[in-house]
Amino acid sequence: MGDSSKKAIILMGHGSRVPDAGKHMEKVASGLRAKYGYNIVEICYMSRLGPHFPEIFEKCVVQGASEIMVIPYFLHDGLHLVLDIPEMMQEIVTQHPEVKLVLGMNLGFDDSLVDLVQKRIAASRNICDVRELALPPRRKYPVPPGQHEFVPMTPKEAAKYLKHSQESSH
């Protein structure tokens, strides 16, 4: 991104009802500042506890960023990457025509992920059986009214989407 003084990087995660769920993403942002010298590196979330994209975008603008690159902190190319995030970005950037806003690449696949997963497998070898885990009470993380924790889809419903996807890719 050239001259890093007027450029900003925003790492955008999904968001969670669990406080500190994004602590690892915060460490990555800190590492980008320290290791690669980016002056403005922020994190935000699409939903839940925040901070959310509009406020972090404005924070970058106030810090003088003329170009902002959003790196979606997502592995898979789901609906958030295909529609939700770019739509949200297009909406907010209309308020700042002087700012270039770039939707960067998500984490996706990289050969280094194979090694990372192997590292996690090795580190997980001595972890107890899931039945032995002490879980926090679900009420500690309430679902806001009108929202759902999961959106289930039956295999039959999924088959319709998969068929439609395969037909439109030909």
Note the pTM of the prediction, 2 decimals.
Answer: 0.82
Other C-beta atoms closer than 10 Å to the C-beta of 152 total 8
- 141-165 confidence digits (pLDDT tens): 888 787 776 666 677 877 776 776 6
Choose, from 14, 24, 148, 164, the residue flagged as catalytic: 14
Rounded Cα distance between 53 and 163, Å, is 34
Ordered structural domains, the chain, with CATH:
4-103 (3.40.50.1400), 111-168 (no CATH)
How much of the chain, in percent, has pLDDT values that exceed 70?
89
- 54-90 confidence digits (pLDDT tens): 999 999 999 999 999 999 999 999 999 999 999 999 9
164: annotated active-site residue: no
Which positions ≥6 away from 113 have C-beta within 8 Å?
A: none
Concatenate the DSSP letters of all residues of 34-76 into one string: HHH--SEEEEEESSTTS-BHHHHHHHHHHTT-SEEEEEE--SS
What pLDDT does residue 106 have?
97
Nearest to 60 by CA among 95, 27, 35, 14: 95
